[in-house]
Structure 1
Amino acid sequence: MRLCGRGRLKAALIDLKTERNRRIPNPDQVIIAGAGIAGLTLALALANRGFQVQIFEKSATLAEIGAGLQLSPNATRLLDRLGVLERLKYSSVEPQAICLQDGTSGEKLLHLPIGKAAKERWSAPYIVCHRADLQNALLTEARSRPNIAIQLQSAVTHHKADRQSVMIRVQYHDRIEEHRAALLVGADGVWSDMRTAMFDTDRARYTGTIAWRSSVAVEQLPESFKTLLPAGTNVVAWTGTNAHLIAYPIRSGQMINFVAVAPERQNGRRWDIQINPEGVSQNFIREFAGWHQGIRDVMRVGRPWTPWRLLEMKKCRFQLGDRLLLIGDAAHAMTPYAAQGAAMAIEDACALACALGTDSTTWSSALAAFSSARTQRITAVVRRGALNQLAYHAKGPLALARNILLRNRPVEKFVKGFDWLYGFDAEERKPDT
C-alpha cells in the first residue's frame, strides 16, 4: 500500500521517535552504571566540574536498605564540598570517642577522642549515620543538579570503547537504548556486571565470616548493657576470640546500630547457600556465650539479626580500558575491619573527577595515574583492616599482649597513627615528580 504525503510524514515522525528512543548521542557526557554511594558521589563531583552526567540504575526504586556506617574525616571533607554533609546534619551523629573494651570482662582498653579533636587535627568531622540517610542525602543533592540525569530500571548490557568514546547499550523496560559517552564508569557494586563481563573469573571472594546487624531503640537497651557504655556518645568495639561487636548511635541518636562479626559455622566458606536468619541466629549468638552478660542480653533484645556475608576482591581493579573504569566495591570490595568501605567509594569518586581535565585527549594518562594512585591507597587500607581484624579477634597470649598495649600506649601515638588515613585528601593534586 502506497502512503500519501501526509501518511509518509507521519511514518517519518514515528521512525524519528523510534530512533530517538533507540539512540541518544551525547559524546561529551559521562555515563555511570549504578546509583549507590559511589555512583551518586561521582555524579556530584563531576557535576561540580561542569560535566554532563547520566546514571543508569538497574533497580526500580532506590530503597532504604543497609544499616549504619562510619564516615571518617577523609570522607566527610569531600561530602562537605559536595553539599551533602549539610544534608546529613540532622540525621547523623558526631561521636565523642572510639572506645575499645574487652568483650568478656567489659574492661576498658582504649578511649580515643574523635569529636572536637577530629575537626582540630584533620579539619573535618567523624560521623556515624544510617546508610539510607547518606543515600538519600546524595540522591537529593544529585536531583537538584540540572546536569545530572538518573534513569531507573536501566541495566547497562553492552559496551564498546575506542580511544575517543564508548558506546553503551541499555536495557530499559522492553527496549534497548544506545548511548555514546566520553567515559563509562562501573559503580555497580560487589557483583559488578561490568567487571564480570570482562573478567568472568575475577569475582568477589567469600571470607567465611558474617557481619550480623541489628538496630535497637535507645530506650529498649537492657540495663546490663548500659553499664558497659562509656559516658557520652561513642563508637564502642568489644573484642573477643574470633569475633567482635561494634555499637554506635544512628538516626539522630535515637537508635543504636550493632554489628557483630563472627565466623559462619554452618556453611564454612560457601556463599551460595541461603542463610535463614531465624534458624541460624541461635547458633550465631552462641559465639558470644562466654561474653559479658550485658552483651548477651543485648543480643537477645536485638533479634532478628540480619546476616551480611563479608566479601572481598582478591585483586583491586580500576581501569578496564581507555574509556572504561570501575570505582567503589566494583573495583575493590573489602572487609569492614577498618570501617572504610563507604569512605573509599567516596574517595574514588572525588579523586576520579579531580583527575579528569577538560581535554579528553589527555585522559588516557590521567586515568592510568588515577588507577595507580588509588590502588596504592586501597592496598594500604586493606592492610590496616587485616591488622585490625587480628587485634579484634586475638586470643590467648596475643589477646593479653594486645590489652596491655592498648592500656599503656599513649593516646597521642594512637591518634598520630590515623593521620595517613583520616588526614588524606583525595582531591589534592600531588606535584609531578
Structure 2
Amino acid sequence: MEDTRSRQVVIAGAGVAGLTAALAFSERGYLVRLFEQAPRLEAAGAGIQLSPNATRILRQLGVLDRLLPAAVRPEAVVLKDAATLRELARVPLGEAAERRWQAPYLVAHRADLQDALMARLAERPDISLVTGARVGGIATGPRHATATVEIAGKTVEAGGFLLIGADGVWSAIRAFGGFSAKSRFSGELAWRATISAGSVAGEALAAVGAANCVTTFLHPGFHLVAYPVSNGTAFNLAAFTRGEIIAERWSGHADPNILLGAMRGTAAALARLAEDAGPWTAWPIHTVDQAQPWTTPAGIALIGDAAHAMTPFAAQGAAMAIE
C-alpha cells in the first residue's frame, strides 16, 4: 500500500491544467487519480489561444495531432483601433512563426482541446478519472497527502505522495490546504459569444478583416478579441469591460447594456457586430495573489487558475496552465 501511495498522484480538477498534469505525470511513470466535481466534463469558456510554448508541450504529450484537425492556424495577431478600424500593429504567425518557434500558434474551441486531452487520457491505463467527485477535506502525513472525496453520497479517501489542486480560481484545495490567498474580483467582466462564420455577425466580422487572424479591437472602455475556431466554421468573440461582481462561477447574468454602452464611439460596423452577435454570456474575472506560496512541504501544490488566476495577458492563461 505504501509503495503504491509513493508512486501515486491525486489531482482535483479536470480542466485544461488538471488533464495536462495527469498526462505529464503518467508519462513519467506515476499512477494518477483524477477527480472532477462536475457530473460531466463541460468546456467552460469558448475559444482558446494556444501559443507555441503550449503547443510544444501538447505535442510532447501526444495531444497536438488530435487537436490539429479542429484547430486554426491564424495568419497574424492584429491590433486595430476600435473607433476607426485602422490597423495599429501586426505580428505575423502561420508558417513563419512555426519555423521560428518550432511549434504552431493555434486558436481552437476549448471543447476541442478538452476532447483531444481526453482522447489521449483514454489511452493511459494508469490514469483514472472520476466525475461527480467533490473534495471535502485534506489530511497530510510525513510523506503523503490524502483527500476525502464525496462520490454519489459515499466518502472515499484518495492518497498519494502529491496532491494537486487544479480546481480553478475558486479552488477548494487552496482553502483546505492552508493557503492564505483568496481570489479577488478584478472589477472586470468578460463577455463571450460564439457565432457561425455564415451568420450575419460572422460575415460582418470577415468584412472588417478579422477572418483569418486573431484581431483585437482596442478602445478606452473595452477591448474585443475575435478569431476563428472549429476549423474556421465559427468565430470566438471575447470582450472585456469594467463591471460589478456577479455570481462566483464561470458564467452568470449581467446587463448586456454594460457591453453595448462601453462600445459607444466605436466604428458603426463593430457596434452592429456587438448587437448581432448576442446573446453574450458574462463571467467575472477573478485574480489570485501570485506572491503567495503555491506549494506546501506536506505535498500539496496548486496549478492553473488555482495558483495564478489573472486578468487577460497576452492570451497566456491557458498556456500557463499547460506549462
- TM-score w.r.t. the length of structure 1 is 0.70
Correspondence for 1:338: 314
Per-residue CA shift, 1:305-362, capped at 9, x if unaligned?
1101111112343203331111111111011132111000100xxxxxxxxxxxxxxx
Correspondence for 2:55: 76
Q: Write 1 or 2 for the structure with the bigger share of strand.
A: 2
Q: Which residue, 229, 248, 252 being the options, matches 2:209?
A: 229
Correspondence for 1:321: 297
* Alpha-carbon distance change, 172 to 259 in structure 1, aligned in 2, over 3 angstroms: same
> Which amino acid in the other structure matches residue 315 of structure 2?
A
> Which amino acid in the other structure matches residue 295 of structure 1?
L
Counterpart CA distance in 2 for 1:167 and 1:275 is 33
Per-residue CA shift, 1:189-235, capped at 9, x if unaligned?
100001122447621111111111111111114555433215x6110
1:226/1:294 contact within 8 Å kept: no
Counterpart CA distance in 2 for 1:272 and 1:62 is 19
| Partner SS state of residue 256, structure 2 | helix
1:112 Cα offset (Å): 1.1
Counterpart CA distance in 1 for 2:141 and 2:177 is 15
1:275 Cα offset (Å): 5.1
1:27/1:180 contact within 8 Å kept: no
Correspondence for 1:41: 20
Q: Which residue, 284, 302, 311 being the options, matches 2:259?
A: 284
1:138 Cα offset (Å): 0.7
1:168/1:178 contact within 8 Å kept: yes
Unaligned runs of 5+ in 1: 1-24, 348-433
Counterpart CA distance in 1 for 2:31 and 2:263 is 51
1:255 Cα offset (Å): 0.5
Correspondence for 1:248: 227
Counterpart CA distance in 2 for 1:275 and 1:59 is 17
By relative contact order (CA 8 Å, sep 6+), the higher-ranking structure is 2
1:320/1:326 contact within 8 Å kept: no
Per-residue CA shift, 1:174-201, capped at 9, x if unaligned?
2211232111111111000011224476
Unaligned runs of 5+ in 2: none
The within-5 A match list for 1:197-212 is 197-199=176-178, 202-212=181-191
1:72 Cα offset (Å): 0.3
> Which amino acid in the other structure matches residue 318 of structure 2?
A
> Which amino acid in the other structure matches residue 203 of structure 1?
K
Correspondence for 1:131: 110
Per-residue CA shift, 1:378-429, capped at 9, x if unaligned?
xxxxxxxxxxxxxxxxxxxxxxxxxxxxxxxxxxxxxxxxxxxxxxxxxxxx
Counterpart CA distance in 1 for 2:299 and 2:149 is 17
Per-residue CA shift, 1:244-302, capped at 9, x if unaligned?
111000011010111111111xx3x576699534xx11232121121001111111111
- Larger-Rg structure: 1
> Which amino acid in the other structure matches residue 118 of structure 1?
A
| Partner SS state of residue 100, structure 2 | helix
> Which amino acid in the other structure matches residue 344 of structure 1?
M
1:164/1:182 contact within 8 Å kept: yes
1:76/1:125 contact within 8 Å kept: yes
| Partner SS state of residue 99, structure 1 | strand
2:248/2:284 contact within 8 Å kept: no
Counterpart CA distance in 2 for 1:205 and 1:180 is 30
Counterpart CA distance in 1 for 2:246 and 2:200 is 34
Correspondence for 1:294: 269
* Alpha-carbon distance change, 117 to 47 in structure 1, aligned in 2, over 3 angstroms: same
Q: Write 1 or 2 for the structure with the bigger share of helix.
A: 1
| Partner SS state of residue 90, structure 1 | helix
2:288/2:309 contact within 8 Å kept: yes
Aligned Cα RMSD in Å? 2.1
The percentage of aligned residue pairs carrying the same residue is 38
- TM-score w.r.t. the length of structure 2 is 0.93
Correspondence for 2:29: 50
